[in-house]
């Protein structure tokens, strides 16, 4: 008992010392500076952070402050802009001032009620922004890697770093991400970071909840964004490019000279074309039902295009490949019909990679005898591995191998988030759209 009492007193004493040490309580937040800071301190923090604390480089005691975010209340209801309490990051987490967020079909599936998710929630899962605060007790290696004021990009799969899959480097299969975030809309302590200003009611997070002026992101899901890359266009690196990179590297295992077909060349599919080109694929076949998308696909590396309304997809792909089929086919729509086209389009021993999310309960069919006899590989792929892959994806964009300018075709403001998803649902967006937030 005496030992426990001594330990408790030591912890309390240390906590009080942290809370009263104003030299270690600085953070950048919406108001601009933290308590007891001045303008010179703020400029120093942004230009050259130099915190030395072994616990956290930006332990904060500041409270208050508000932000706006787009709230999804229930399927087929309009998004509304609401005021929130400024979210507070916890250990290992970073508060990001959101600059841009991509518009993705995954969010649209939730909006339409095709994929269940906790409500009310803030959608948006591919973001760029500025680091403004580190969670208390965050390790110094994180605060040094992501100093205050640095530009970052966030991946939609946010690895915990500790589960059985993360410990093996398989961040894309993180158990906590699926158990907590995708199942319940929280981070990995089982709690959301979002609370309405009006009522204090909790609001859940689809990934980091990027359709808000600030978002809390686990540090494992972030990568530094070079100042040379624009915030707006770079937002797509966290999902569209991230998903494509994971599909082409870990699932398809594209090698120079491989033939690749991509069925559905919207935001993610067109990114697959770029990744296939980057990895040296020879014949790159784009399949879609819209001529405008097929024409744009040529900018992303497509050597051939197939309009699925005008031509038989499988027959045309076999014709292009001398009757053999492609080495790799990627399905980016999540439709039973295109699932079947994907498996039928590959050559003997080929890989059919499925990346398109479907309405809950959707079933894809496959010719079992051909699958068995001709050694067809059917592989699902949700995304890349944030800690290993996101910096590589950023480098592809920085060097121009992955073209960001052509990849973004529409831009919206956060007040227009509902319009953005309406346009996406109507098929009015070629490649990717991005919502500019701050």
DSSP 49-93: -----SS-TT-------EEEEEEB-STTS--EEEEEEPP---TTE
Q: pLDDT for 55-97, tens place per residue?
A: 333 333 345 799 999 999 999 899 999 999 999 999 999 999 9
200 lies in the same domain as 263: no
Answer yes or no: do 121 and 187 share one domain: yes
In a domain, 395, yes or no: yes
Among candidate residues 189, 251, 183, 176, the one with its CA nearest the CA of residue 221: 176
- pTM, rounded to two decimals: 0.85
Tokens of 137: 């007790």
Question: Are both 348 and 310 inside the same structural domain?
Answer: yes
pLDDT at 22 over 90: no
Q: How many domains does the chain have?
A: 2
282 lies in the same domain as 332: yes
pLDDT reading at 128 higher than 70: yes
Tell whether 4 is covered by a domain: no
Q: What is the mean pLDDT of residues 10-25?
A: 36
Distances (CA, A) of 397 to 225, 387, 392, 429: 10, 17, 9, 22
Residue 112 forms part of a structural domain: yes
Of 380, 398, 421, the position where a domain reaches its end is 380
Q: Could you tell me if residue 31 is inside a domain?
A: no
Tell me: pLDDT of 12 over 60: no
C-alpha–C-alpha distance, residues 52 and 128, integer Å: 26
What's the CATH number where 109 sits?
Answer: 3.90.180.10
Helix intervals (H) in 298-416: 313-320, 336-345, 368-373, 386-398, 404-407
Strand 202-205 versus strand 121-122 pairing type: parallel
Among residues 328, 155, 339, the alpha carbon closest in space to that of 258 is found at: 328
Q: Do residue 354 and residue 397 come from a single domain?
A: no
In degrees, to the nearest 5, what angle opens at C-alpha 304 toward C-alphas 301 and 310? Answer: 135
Instruction: Say yes or no: 229 and 311 in one domain.
Output: no
CATH number for the domain including 312? 3.40.50.720
| Any domain includes 228 | yes
Do 51 and 57 meet the contact criterion of CB atoms below 8 Å apart?
A: yes
Domain boundaries, position 403: 37-239+386-436
Is residue 11 over pLDDT 50?
A: no
> What value does the mean pLDDT of the chain take?
88
| pLDDT (average), residues 35-63 | 33
Residue 63's pLDDT is what?
58
Residues 257 and 363 in one domain: yes
**What percent of the chain lies above the pLDDT cut of 70?**
86
Q: Of the candidates 57, 121, 41, which has an alpha carbon nearest to the alpha carbon of residue 89?
A: 57
Both 90 and 184 in a single domain?
Answer: yes
* Residue 59 structure tokens: 């332990």
**Residue 403 within any structural domain of the chain:** yes
pLDDT band of residue 438 (cuts 50, 70, 90) is: confident
Contact 417, 192 (CB under 8 A): no
Mean pLDDT over 259-277 rounds to 98
pLDDT at residue number 84:
98
Domain boundary among 345, 365, 380: 380
d(CA 413, CA 419): 10
Residue 411 within any structural domain of the chain: yes
Structure confidence at residue 232 (pLDDT): 98
Of 363, 380, 397, the residue at which a domain comes to its end is: 380
Question: How far from the centroid of its chain's Cα atoms is residue 79's Cα?
Answer: 20
Instruction: Examine the domain organization and report whether 150 and 204 are in the same domain.
Output: yes
Angstrom distance (rounded) from CA 386 to CA 404? 19
pLDDT tens readout for residues 197-225: 999 999 999 999 999 999 999 999 999 99
- Same domain as 67, residue 145: yes
Q: Which of 45-49, 90-94, 256-260 has the lowest mean pLDDT?
A: 45-49
In-domain check, residue 32: no
Percent of all residues in the chain with a pLDDT value above 90, rounded to a whole number: 84
Query: Do 294 and 194 sit in the same domain of this protein?
Result: no
């Amino acid at each position: 008992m005496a030992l426990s009492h001594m330990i408790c007193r030591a912890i309390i004493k240390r906590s009080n010392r942290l809370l009263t040490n104003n030299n270690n309580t600085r953070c950048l937040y919406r108001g601009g500076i933290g308590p007891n800071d001045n303008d010179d301190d703020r400029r120093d923090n942004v230009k050259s952070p130099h915190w030395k604390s072994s616990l956290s480089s930006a332990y904060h005691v500041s409270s208050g402050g508000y932000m706006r975010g787009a709230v999804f209340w229930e399927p087929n209801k309009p998004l509304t802009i609401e005021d929130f309490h400024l979210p507070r990051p916890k250990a290992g987490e970073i508060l990001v001032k959101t600059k841009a967020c991509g518009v993705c079909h995954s969010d649209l599936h939730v909006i339409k009620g095709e994929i269940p998710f906790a409500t009310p929630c803030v959608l948006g899962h591919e973001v760029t922004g500025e680091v403004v605060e580190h969670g208390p007790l965050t390790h110094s290696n994180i605060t040094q890697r992501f100093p205050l004021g640095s530009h970052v990009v966030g991946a939609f799969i946010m690895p915990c770093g500790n589960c059985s899959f993360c410990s093996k480097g398989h961040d894309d299969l993180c158990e906590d991400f699926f158990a907590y975030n995708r199942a319940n809309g929280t981070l990995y302590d089982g709690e959301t970071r979002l609370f309405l200003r009006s009522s204090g009611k909790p609001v859940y997070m689809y990934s980091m909840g990027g359709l808000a002026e600030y978002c809390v992101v686990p540090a494992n899901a972030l990568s530094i964004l070079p100042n040379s890359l624009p915030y707006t266009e770079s937002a797509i690196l966290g999902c569209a490019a991230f998903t494509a990179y994971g599909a082409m590297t870990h699932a398809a295992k594209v090698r120079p000279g491989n033939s690749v077909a991509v069925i559905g060349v919207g935001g993610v599919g067109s990114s697959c074309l770029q990744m296939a080109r980057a990895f040296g694929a020879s014949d790159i076949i784009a399949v879609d039902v819209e001529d405008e998308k097929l024409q744009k696909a040529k900018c992303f590396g497509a050597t051939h295009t197939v309009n699925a309304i005008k031509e038989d997809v499988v027959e045309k792909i076999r014709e292009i490949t001398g009757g053999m089929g492609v080495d790799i086919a990627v399905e980016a729509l999540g439709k039973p019909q295109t699932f079947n086209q994907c498996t039928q389009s590959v050559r003997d021993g080929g890989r059919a990679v499925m990346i398109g999310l479907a309405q809950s309960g959707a079933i894809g069919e496959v010719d079992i005898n051909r699958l068995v006899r001709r050694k067809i590989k059917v592989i699902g792929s949700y995304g890349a591995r944030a800690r290993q892959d996101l910096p590589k994806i950023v480098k592809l964009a920085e060097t121009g191998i992955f073209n960001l300018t052509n990849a973004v075709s529409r831009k919206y403001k956060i007040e227009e988030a509902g319009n953005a998803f309406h346009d996406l649902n109507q098929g009015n967006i070629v490649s990717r759209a991005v919502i500019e937030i701050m």
